[in-house]
Structure 1
């Protein structure tokens, strides 16, 4: 999937159908001159429904069509015939989609399961036919109820990527290169910051036909939790990952300090993110010789006690097998 086709944020406008009108028909047959009221009820207007689909990965389907109208209910008929219900409109979205009302700002629900359905706009009820209103004092009512109008809403669909592992790091830390080395994904790779502007997903093939999904999240900068550098658009994708893999390059001036800055941005955005399992990978370790590696190893043990870490290189393949082993172990603990 190309970066331009990954759509994770859309605004849509929708209307449910209005209910059909009840019938005010009076029964008239050859030998029944005054058969009384027999008008049927109007049909229900069509709903607008949001349904989860595990085979979708993006909101691309809403990029070019953003207005949706459900069908109107049909009018009631004679002999108490109820009008047909209006046709429902079903909007299929990927798992991890959050639906919000743009007018009120309220979060309505989240789609997290395949086949999960939520009605976002109910169709109007059909009007009742005149036979409902007959009585001993009003035996031939010549009126019926009109159908109720449908609902009109403006919604925001926001996708939070569902992946087992989320890559967290500063711009140009080597996240896309690592994703390409571990999976068959083909992310855009270049030697400048913010090469990645949309999350990229890849499937890591593990032993015995096992696999897990890894997501390359666009780079985080200091102040991202306040919205700098499109921070909120990036950080929301990390909420869905089971495990966070922090990537800090070996040529960083202070690896421990960079790790703490990244951790601080997650804490400010959503403190619950710190409850997730974490692993630190020191990328571009092919730049280090044996002596520098030992020095960095000792330094990290002192400055980041209790934080598991590995030295890896996506270019040379150093440490990638151990990285996959460690990720699989953490995911299944």
Structure 2
């Protein structure tokens, strides 16, 4: 029984939260005024994607949709930093596109072998040892860890093949793949025998080989979702060359020229760029052709459009080596397999600033500001980036925080502490 082919999956991923900082004071016999020694919280674990060449589908994501990395441990006394959370490595097939589920933007193309950090773990909170100053010698506060990043993403598998076989169902694509490679696709005399793409490595000569993909048969209306073809048209997006297999035997009452034009129209409807992809037309089942003139008419039709036609019989192993030679010759001058450039721009997570913040004033005059939405906001701010800092300032101002601080009596030069970030207040 054939294994189901899963080529698209939606998952939710969340990195671990950072551990909380510790409030602790050094106590040791004969040591006076030991001072604060609270350690920092550990970093939360990250979500990391890694290519696994032993995987060929997204089946693993069919039943498990939520993935979470480990949280960082809280800090301890004696300046002991909490243990970092465990990273979670998720393995995906080579060729998987990672898209933001909300915007559809490409976050990463997992075509290479480098791991990709999909969600960064939250930073650990500072212990009270960080907040000791000449005027604040006994800080009785520490900072909570920041939450890890979270995303809903769509994984979309686009096969990495040099050559894609296209054509109507039952024209002999699977037979051709089995003849020119060691792939063993299911072959039978009925439509939609092929339910999922099959890959085969075609050897030409020493040092020359290529990967060929047998795509399920395309039918008219596939670009609009009809039949099986629509789900798998994405797998020929990356192919450098298409081998268009046309049944010229007339055994099923089909018209070769009409079939050729119909498939190309479906490719155009799905992707104009795909319709411009180089093609070789393989006129299959020539050995049982009932109308020899049909081949001549098809040749004239396709060559008028600039395509090369090769007469073959995959079942009888006729013309297949000539076809393989033509394919290798064209591939030698075509650009490499497409790798999609990420177009994803991380955006600060939308936060509801209507909830009140907890504002307290420490004994040394420091203003301590905390709250769930502020914590989430700071987890998405890069304080080394000017625009990110400006966004942070704008959000705080629009939330009414600065006005509230002024009503509570804050003065220019007072220190404001927000988790692991401190600044001097200036009107």
CA RMSD, 1 decimal:
2.0
Report the CA distance between 1:168 and its aligned residue. Answer: 0.4
1:38 aligns with 2:33: no
Q: Summarize deviations over 1:200-243 as a string: whole Å, max 9, x none.
A: 11122222363221111011111111111144311100112111
Q: What is aligned with 1:57?
A: 56
Residue pair 2:283, 2:295 contacting (<8 A) in 1 also? no
Q: What is aligned with 2:373?
A: none
Q: What is aligned with 1:263?
A: 264
TM-score by length of 2: 0.72
Cα distance in 1 between the residues matched to 2:167 and 2:230? 15
Report the CA distance between 1:141 and its aligned residue. Answer: 0.6
SS of residue in 2 equivalent to 1:180: helix
Residues 1:3 and 1:156: Cα distance change in structure 2 (over 3 Å): farther
Q: What is aligned with 1:213?
A: 211
Consecutive unaligned residues in structure 2, runs of 5 or more: 334-427
TM alignment of 1:122-271, pairs within 5 A:
122-208=120-206, 210-250=208-248, 251=250, 253-271=254-272
Q: What is aligned with 1:24?
A: 23
Report the CA distance between 1:103 and its aligned residue. Answer: 4.1
Report the CA distance between 1:5 and its aligned residue. Answer: 5.3
Alignment length (residue pairs): 328
Query: Greater relative contact order (Cα 8 A, min sep 6): structure 1 or 2?
Result: 1
Larger radius of gyration between Structure 1 and Structure 2: 2
SS of residue in 2 equivalent to 1:246: strand
Residue pair 1:3, 1:198 contacting (<8 A) in 2 also? no
Q: Which runs of 4+ in 1 moved over 6 A?
A: none
Report the CA distance between 1:13 and its aligned residue. Answer: 2.6
Residues 1:173 and 1:298: Cα distance change in structure 2 (over 3 Å): closer
Q: Summarize deviations over 1:169-216 as a string: whole Å, max 9, x none.
A: 011111111112222222122222111111011122222363221111
SS of residue in 1 equivalent to 2:71: coil
1:298 aligns with 2:299: no
Residue pair 2:48, 2:117 contacting (<8 A) in 1 also? yes
1:282 aligns with 2:280: no
Residue pair 1:96, 1:240 contacting (<8 A) in 2 also? no
Residue pair 2:186, 2:194 contacting (<8 A) in 1 also? yes
